[in-house]
Amino acid sequence: MKRCPENPVVSPAMVKPSADGYRVRGAFNPGAIRFEDEILLLLRVAEDCPAPEGEIAVPTVGIEDGRGVPGILRVRQDDPEVQLKDTRGLVYQGRTYLTTMSHIRVARSRDGVHFTIDEAPLIFPSTAAEMYGVEDARVVEIDGTYYINYTCVSPDGWATSLATTTDFRSVTRRGLIFHPENKDVAIFPGKIGGNYAALHRPNNSGFGKPSIWYAESPDLLHWGNHRCLLRPRDMIWEEMKIGGGAPAIETPDGWLHVYHGKGRDQVYSLFVVLLDLTNPSIVLRRGKQPFVTPEAHYESEGFFSNVIFSNGLVTDENGKVLLYYGAADEFSCLIETTVDELMAGLD
């Protein structure tokens, strides 16, 4: 198991802004898939708006004829109607805005290391549920169609939407599949016992901590039979919350899934869990320790430091795994490993 010596494989400087006046601050948390003779990354591209001293500018989106139109809100920093929430948001005239807005962009590579990035977004905010951006795509292929689920953010909170594509040039939106507040959805690559299955992460508020849940669907649109699968453990690596990662890998021993834990000092690390092959709601084995934690400088220093977050990987017939991950909410990076090495992280 090793970090790619050419990490980061994608950096913000490689990505063209989606609109005039926008600046790319992060290209991270990529979904990943093999398509034809390439490896594709579905990047989360986060953009902000530079402003002269004394002013604040934030990206916005307007909806016109079902299409998202990028805009910019500009205000004086000393405007009495401006309230700075934190580094990621502000309130103006009673409405909250984010300082960055994300969309999904495709990066393409023949070797899995050197990428070229499409000039235009694949999925740009275009509905009321996406007014604050679209983030953290996962992708799975089922019967020749590629299903992309992603987090959509709006004044109503965050939720999960689904889109489909056959060419990664355009998508068909299928709408919300998990309502607010729910994210970190990882769909299994095909039916299991007659139904589709997915992991998801509702936001526990008031009781417990955010945990990984399991759900089933007859059609990938309507989900039910929900049950809690994994809860954060009393350890420094998971003490705040956990959430699902990339779609699970099918092995003879079960479904191998990489998930993230958020722990002390808001550090994100990666763990593995093994789920039953015929009934993935059954946990067989779970790693007691993370198999990777922030150590490299591009993981420990960045837009949001000490974060490793993976929602994309690809495998081959020999068990090789290319695990792509977001580092410090800024870069996309690669760990080269194998199914056997990941299995070795189970207890």
Higher pLDDT, 269 or 84: 269
- pLDDT tens readout for residues 211-229: 999 999 999 999 999 999 9
- pLDDT tens readout for residues 140-180: 999 999 999 999 999 999 999 999 999 999 999 999 999 99
How does the average pLDDT of the chain come out, rounded?
96
For residue 204, what are its two tokens? Answer: 């526990």
Q: Write down the pLDDT at residue 87.
A: 66
* For residues 53-61, average pLDDT: 94
Q: Write down the pLDDT at residue 338.
A: 97
* For residues 47-53, average pLDDT: 95
- pLDDT tens readout for residues 116-125: 999 999 999 9
Higher pLDDT, 65 or 45: 45
* For residues 104-133, average pLDDT: 97
Asked if the model's pLDDT at residue 92 lies above 80, the reply is yes
Q: Write down the pLDDT at residue 207.
A: 87
Q: Write down the pLDDT at residue 52.
A: 93
* For residues 62-84, average pLDDT: 92
pLDDT confidence of 28, banded at 50, 70, 90? very high
Asked if the model's pLDDT at residue 347 lies above 90, the reply is no
pLDDT confidence of 266, banded at 50, 70, 90? very high
Asked if the model's pLDDT at residue 108 lies above 70, the reply is yes
- pLDDT tens readout for residues 169-208: 999 999 999 999 999 999 999 999 999 999 999 998 888 9
Q: Write down the pLDDT at residue 84.
A: 82
Asked if the model's pLDDT at residue 262 lies above 90, the reply is yes
